[in-house]
Structure 1
């Protein structure tokens, strides 16, 4: 049981860290670069990246982090690390909710606009997408997943220190 408890905690930490990295990279690099492009480039590039990110590697880390953090909580009841794992779970669940309620609908609406080569008013499509709204909510995802990663890192430290 020890190996399963520790493995779930390590896997939850790793996948949460990977997801925090993705959201952070979008926040400080991808969207900043796209923000400096013309409307056609922005719409086309964002659509292409949004289609590409739905792949087994990303989905395994994005959904895996949630499931593995739940597993780490279930496998470590009554242990000193449980509050840290539960805090990570709440923070990560918030990021998942924001993703599903805000970011995915914005992404889907931009993809639904069609091929940038056939869109008559690219500026209007980009304006409806609302980059500042997307970025504000992505910042929340970045902060919550990074904080969740920190909580899980601390749970690992506490576990290793024998207090768990």
Structure 2
């Protein structure tokens, strides 16, 4: 059970780090090059699509749950400090997501159909630079957490 929890934590953390990274180096730069109507409509569609059981359970919430389980399973073992550090970094990522990114996502979705709204005003209110800046923090924190969990797996393999 111990190694299974740590492997699940590592895999789900990798998934989340990859998603945040993909937003940072592909999705948001691509959307930045579009007109206002395309930006608003595409972002609304992408945000609706990412809220699905596969990503939420297997990635976003799964990374948190599995890392907590791994921490509990590794109490008293050499890998524990690395798992706890990963958990702290991912908790920061979750807070940033809930306090910054989700409210911005929800506001752009609530604006309505891009064909019937002032898309320039909606895009400006969205504040792309704020969203992207905090997403970069999420990328760094979750990728570092992934690395820490990978190191914990290494320690787990060498310490029995």
TM range (shorter): over 0.9
Alpha-carbon distance between aligned partners in 2 of 1:159 and 1:111, rounded to the nearest angstrom: 44
**Secondary structure in 2 aligned to 1:117?**
helix
Distance, in Å, in 2 between the alignment partners of 1:17 and 1:93 is 15
TM-score, normalised by the number of residues in structure 1: 0.96
Instruction: Report the Cα distance in structure 2 between the residues aligned to 1:38 and 1:82, rounded to whole angstroms.
Output: 48
Q: CA RMSD in A?
A: 0.7
* Equivalent runs, 1:9-158 vs 2, <5 Å: 9-60=6-57, 61-119=59-117, 121-158=118-155
Give the whole-Å Cα distance in 1 for the aligned partners of 2:64 and 2:122: 33
Deviation at 1:56, TM superposition (A): 0.8
CA drift of 1:160 comes to: 0.8
Task: Give the paired residue count.
Answer: 159
Secondary structure class of the residue paired with 2:62? helix
CA distance in 1, matches of 2:156, 2:83: 11
Unaligned 5+ runs, structure 1: none
How far did residue 161 of structure 1 move? 1.2
Which residue in the other structure is 2:5 paired with? 8
How much does 1:81 deviate? 0.3
Shift of 1:38: 0.1
Q: Secondary structure at the match of 2:114?
A: coil
Unaligned runs of 5+ in 2: none
Q: Which 4+ runs in 1 deviate beyond 2 A? A: none
